[in-house]
Amino acid sequence: MSELLRLSISEANDLLSRRKVSSVELTTAALQRIRNSDDRLRCFLTVTDDLALAQARRADERLARGETGSLLGIPLGIKDVILTKGVRTTAASRILENFIAPYDATVSRRLFEAGAVCVGKLNCDEFAMGSSTENSAYQVTRNPWDHDRVPGGSSGGSAAAVATGQCIGSLGTDTGGSIRQPAACCGVVGIKPTYGRVSRFGVIAYASSLDQVGPMGRCVEDCARILSVIAGHDTNDSTSVEVSVPDYAEALGPSCKGLRVGIPKEYFVEGMQPEVEKAVHAAVAQFERLGAVVSEVSLPHTEYAVPTYYLIATAEASSNLARYDGIKYGLRRGESDGLLAMYRRTRAEGFGTEVKRRIMLGTYALSAGYYDAYYLKAQKVRTLIRRDFEKVFAQQDVIVAPTAPTTAFRVGEKTSDPLQMYLSDIFTISINLAGLPGISLPCGFDAMGLPIGLQIIGRPFEEARVLQAAHAYEQSTEWHKRSPPD
Amino acid sequence: MAQAFAAGLKSMDYEAVIGLEVHAELLTNSKVFCGCSAKFGAQPNENTCPVCLGMPGALPVLNRRAVEFAIRAGLASRSTVAACSRWARKNYFYPDLPKGYQISQYELPICTGGAIDIDTSAGSKTIRLTRIHMEEDTGKNIHDAHGDSSLVDFNRCGVPLLEIVSEPDIRSSEEAGAYLRKLRTLLQYLEICDGNMEEGSFRCDANVSIRPRGTTPLGTKVEIKNMNSFRNVERAIDHEISRQAAVLRDGGSLVQETRLWDPDREATRSMRSKEFAHDYRYFPEPDLLPLVVSNEWIETVRNALPELPDARRQRFVASYGLPEYDAEVLTARKDVADYFEAAVRAHANAKAVSNWVMGEMLRLIKERHLDAALIIRAWPVLPERLAEMVALVDGGSISGKIAKTVFEAMVKTGKAAPDIVAAQGLTQISDAGEIDAAIDAVLAANPDKVAEYRSGKDKLFGFFVGQVMKATQGKANPQKLNEILKKKLQA
């Protein structure tokens, strides 16, 4: 593999601005890497060679004019639930198999305006519903550390592609852990921003009150650089918030002095992999060495997070996915047999098993006579979960916890047991319900050499503090320097 | 005894209980959740974008102007405008609904309460409002235009709507008609809806039940749809009341259902029963924040409200001295009332102007279909021109009779009255000599009639007037003609 593909964004940025390397060279290396490795890894659903090279050439022109910019000329991958104008965008679903996005998502537009290069669209669970990327209608992405294992999900392609150097960074989306859990599984860094921090306009909706776009990279600083570009208020997304965006990379430093770190006791549960628990405790000790003040805290409603999530997320999904009806775009089947048959066949053939399961769950939860007992109750519990965090954050600056209870599991291991699969997100889901920012970064490896993820959670809109804590920890350890076998 | 009971039922007198749901399309320039034009009449799917087409990833952004219009409607109908209301998704599948849900309001609408006062032959009455909520309109399915397949036009999709729901306070088709007309007038005055039932910018569904007169429990409710004119609403309600009464009188029972009015057959037919009613699975719209309306905003809107129809009607009586009836007719339409006032400003004979506006003008507008949606379109006579013509009559330049001819020419050609009068030589002949000569000629030509008149056949006076008018092409000043003719015949 080309050395170019192990560069961090700031290293690449430096070489680009000193004209030691061109964006076209960097991009060509990434495309070459994808060609050589993706028949095994299966990270990309669409490789956008022509677009990438055109964008790289334009970036080189801008660089030649002396322009600078932290993402100018940097090859990135974009999860296939994020619209990219003129490029096929499928949400890893058959129902959008031939859908060419008619417009750019706000995050895509911001990346492109900043001069970033899109090398392709990354595989994920269909409509971002899953924890292993096995629910993709097209392919199973492999974990770069062990090809028999899953990369996590739903942003499995985004995590694996970054881990293996197919691109320098990527965008994922996180509704219940879909950036952080695959980041943990693949040994990379991924941050889910505060709900409202990043525009959702042009992001194919799974659960509107939970979805957030976030960056994935091989180090905290890379994520900080990408986040600075994509974050910020967007008039096209009424739920995006007008809070100014700091330069997240600028604020990073080595110290955690006086940082108050809460360790939630509910996040160390029976049945979790002992090596994960051990690695997280070791990381906590490292925080203390860096000057942090560590206390045990309690988030008492944690045990209700999974059921609460699977009511709210599926309810919203059942409505969000109603537009895929064969009328306007995407797959259409059975049109000669009348409207009802067309709806039925289009959706029966267009959606996969997990998507159908969640549509049915959500439809049920919203139905007359059940709404109060399920959806409304879940909203009330969501409020309790949010309050748990508010109470802890009155005393603590960040919360540190494991990202997932285990390292990456084997392909096929949990596909027949949806409930087991849902538990992969047991430590990440609450953060979405509370709308908080959360990052996952490597904090060790298990006996099989699989990466372990550490999660750091912050107050609303305190991404800078979360990134700072993560960066300080990362720079005091060597975990992020390990690469998967080529 | 059973027979006696049945006979009792047969002779039973029923009372109708009616509630109306009105959908009013708002006259905003752009749609409620995107920037597309909300104007009617564009090429199919011209006014669309990813948001109103329900493209993947598209999100709604609220048009504040539509909210302002809803506040206007709320204030004008004495409703309470909620400080915080909420958007909800109404979920159902239909090709004209691109997202598979309609953004509407459910638990917390923008307006609650309120009332509309109506006048009927039985006197005046207040119809209470349950609520007014905002929502987006759907597209339109077009069938049979393209072989076996149907097409969808999404131009209307996302146009803002108000749904105005009345309490079941209406008791007859007459009250229903009066309520709808009053409501439409109100929305038109507020300049928020053009009120065109035929084009669908003002739509009405009716909930009708009946109960034995004098009882309070409500009967089984039937919803009637597909009534696209006031007259159809009235006929459908009358028909539905009779149908329900007939079912009960025959010992049958009613089912809760939705029925469609078929104007050709003059009947309603069942569309779906309660068992097949949709479960819309309403839930709060997560893509939009709760709708917060500040007191300042409400007050700003209140201060900018125009004069409302009731107030204007009273003012027309008080300050122009018009009869109640004239004031009612003139103020029923804002454009007509505006026209009237502009004309009176130019020539201060309110009653004469009122007669022209209510009579000739509204008749011609109706005949020539120059109005649509309560907005006068293509009416060629400016109010100042009408005033000018009335002034010619008042000044004795033309007779009232000639004025009708002049007015029709004004409508046809768009020319001013003095020009028409001059060009066609229609100026009234008031010169005594000229009239004298015309009379002499008529009398000379009809000596036998003159003799008959003089022997007591008074009725012939009209004949002579007619002959003189004929000879002068109607231009003789009638008063002078009468005067001189009388003198000459007596001589």
The alpha carbon of residue B182 is apart from the nearest alpha carbon of chain A, in Å, by 36
For A138-173, b/e burial (b = at least 16 CB within 10 A) is ebbbbbbbbeebbbbbbbbbbbbbbbbbbbbbbbbb
Interface mutation vs chain A, best among B61, B281, B282, B289, most A CBs within 10 Å: B281
Measured CA to CA, the distance from residue B410 to residue A259 in angstroms comes to 87
Say yes or no for a CB contact (<8 Å) between A322 and B100: yes
Interface predicted TM-score of the whole assembly (ipTM), two decimals:
0.96
The alpha carbon of residue A296 is apart from the nearest alpha carbon of chain B, in Å, by 34
Spell out which residues of chain A touch residue B100, defining contact as CB-CB under 8 Å. Answer: 319, 321-323, 325
Cβ-contact B258, B240 below 8 angstroms: no
Write down the pLDDT at residue B414.
Answer: 85
Write down the pLDDT at residue A276.
Answer: 97
Spell out which residues of chain A touch residue B152, defining contact as CB-CB under 8 Å. Answer: 327-328
Q: Does B89 touch chain A (CB under 8 A)?
A: yes
Beta-bridge partners for A401: A455
Residue B69: half-sphere exposure toward Cβ, Cα within 13 Å? 31
CA-based nearest residue in chain B for residue A90? B56
Confidence label for B2 from pLDDT (cuts 50, 70 and 90): very low
Amino acid at B272: R
φ/ψ of A318, rounded to 5, equals -60, -35
Highest-scoring range by mean pLDDT, A362-371, A414-423, B145-154, B473-482: A362-371
The alpha carbon of residue B266 is apart from the nearest alpha carbon of chain A, in Å, by 29
Cβ-based burial of B8 (10 A; exposed 0-12, middle 13-18, buried ≥19): exposed
Res. B146: pLDDT tops 70: no
> CA dihedral defined by B67, B72, B77, B81, rounded to 10 degrees?
50
Nearest one of A312, A52, A326 to A207, comparing CA atoms: A312
Res. B451: pLDDT tops 90: no
Domain boundaries, chain B: 2-299, 307-416, 432-490
Cβ-based burial of A376 (10 A; exposed 0-12, middle 13-18, buried ≥19): middle
DSSP H helices, B347-431, are 350-356, 362-367, 383-394, 400-413, 417-424
Domain boundaries, chain A: 2-258+397-481
Q: Are strands B123-136 and B160-166 parallel, antiparallel or unpaired?
A: antiparallel
The pLDDT > 70 percentage for chain B reads 95
> CA dihedral defined by A239, A240, A243, A249, rounded to 10 degrees?
140
Res. B4: pLDDT tops 60: no
Each residue's pLDDT tens digit, B386-430: 999 999 989 888 888 889 889 989 988 888 988 998 888 778 877
Write the DSSP assignment of B206-249 as a string of letters: EEEEEEETT--S----EEEEEE-SHHHHHHHHHHHHHHHHHHHH
Spell out which residues of chain B touch residue A203, defining contact as CB-CB under 8 Å. Answer: 57
- A 304-323 residues inside an 8 A Cβ radius of B: 315-316, 318-319, 321-323
Radius of gyration of chain B measured on its C-alpha atoms: 30
List, in order, residues 6 or more apart from A293 with CB less than 8 Å away: A258, A259, A260, A261
Please give the distance of CA A135 from its chain centroid, rounded to a whole number.
16
φ/ψ of B149, rounded to 5, equals -90, 160
Radius of gyration of chain A measured on its C-alpha atoms: 21
List, in order, residues 6 or more apart from B380 with CB less than 8 Å away: B410, B411, B413, B414
Please give the distance of CA A59 from its chain centroid, rounded to a whole number.
26
Measured CA to CA, the distance from residue B472 to residue B461 in angstroms comes to 17
Cβ-contact B389, B411 below 8 angstroms: no
Query: Containing H/E element for A470?
Result: helix A463-475
Write the DSSP assignment of B37-91 as a string of letters: B--TTPSTT-S--TTTTT-TT------HHHHHHHHHHHHHTTPEEPSEE-EEEEE
Confidence label for B468 from pLDDT (cuts 50, 70 and 90): confident
Domain A2-258+397-481 indexed as CATH 3.30.530.20: no
Each residue's pLDDT tens digit, B249-270: 999 999 999 999 999 999 999 9
Each residue's pLDDT tens digit, B46-55: 999 999 999 9
Write down the pLDDT at residue B1.
Answer: 42
Res. B377: pLDDT tops 70: no
Write down the pLDDT at residue B375.
Answer: 56
CA-based nearest residue in chain A for residue B99? A323
Res. B144: pLDDT tops 80: no
Measured CA to CA, the distance from residue B80 to residue B365 in angstroms comes to 38
Say yes or no for a CB contact (<8 Å) between A89 and B56: yes
Say yes or no for a CB contact (<8 Å) between A363 and B288: no
Amino acid at B453: Y
List, in order, residues 6 or more apart from B34 with CB less than 8 Å away: B49, B51, B52, B60, B61, B158
Spell out which residues of chain A touch residue B289, defining contact as CB-CB under 8 Å. Answer: 238-239
Write down the pLDDT at residue B398.
Answer: 85
* Degrees to nearest 5, angle at CA A471 with A465 and A474: 145
Spell out which residues of chain B touch residue A315, defining contact as CB-CB under 8 Å. Answer: 283
Res. B374: pLDDT tops 60: no
Measured CA to CA, the distance from residue B263 to residue B313 in angstroms comes to 34
Cβ-contact B254, B219 below 8 angstroms: yes
Measured CA to CA, the distance from residue B227 to residue B213 in angstroms comes to 27
φ/ψ of B102, rounded to 5, equals -105, 135
Spell out which residues of chain B touch residue A319, defining contact as CB-CB under 8 Å. Answer: 89, 91, 100-101, 281, 283
Each residue's pLDDT tens digit, B202-251: 999 999 999 999 999 999 999 999 998 999 999 999 999 999 999 999 99
Query: pLDDT per position in chain A (486 positions), as tens?
Result: 678 889 999 999 999 999 999 999 999 999 999 999 999 999 999 999 999 999 999 999 999 999 999 999 999 999 999 999 999 999 999 999 999 999 999 999 999 999 999 999 999 999 999 999 999 999 999 999 999 999 999 999 999 999 999 999 999 999 999 999 999 999 999 999 999 999 999 999 999 999 999 999 999 999 999 999 999 999 999 999 999 999 999 989 888 999 999 999 999 988 899 999 999 999 999 999 999 999 999 999 999 999 999 999 999 999 999 999 999 999 999 988 999 999 999 999 999 999 999 999 999 999 999 999 999 999 999 999 999 999 999 999 999 999 999 999 999 999 988 888 888 899 999 999 999 999 999 999 999 999 999 999 999 999 999 999 999 999 999 999 999 997
pTM of the model: 0.90
Res. B168: pLDDT tops 60: yes
Say yes or no for a CB contact (<8 Å) between B286 and A366: no
Say yes or no for a CB contact (<8 Å) between A339 and B95: yes
Look up residue B169 and give its two tokens. Answer: 């306070």
Instruction: Kindly list the catalytic residues of A.
Output: 79, 154, 178
Q: Are strands B291-292 and B371-372 parallel, antiparallel or unpaired?
A: unpaired
Spell out which residues of chain B touch residue A91, defining contact as CB-CB under 8 Å. Answer: 56
CA-based nearest residue in chain B for residue A99? B56
- A–B: how many Cβ contacts below 8 A? 97
- A 182-201 residues inside an 8 A Cβ radius of B: 200-201
Nearest one of B205, B240, B219, B225 to B271, comparing CA atoms: B225
Angle of the B432-445 helix axis to the B447-454 helix axis, nearest 10: 100
Say yes or no for a CB contact (<8 Å) between A371 and B281: yes
Say yes or no for a CB contact (<8 Å) between B89 and A200: no
Q: Which CATH class for the B432-490 domain?
A: mainly alpha
Say yes or no for a CB contact (<8 Å) between A322 and B279: no
Write down the pLDDT at residue B254.
Answer: 94
Cβ-contact A209, A217 below 8 angstroms: no
DSSP H helices, A211-299, are 220-230, 274-289
Look up residue B409 and give its two tokens. Answer: 């020419």
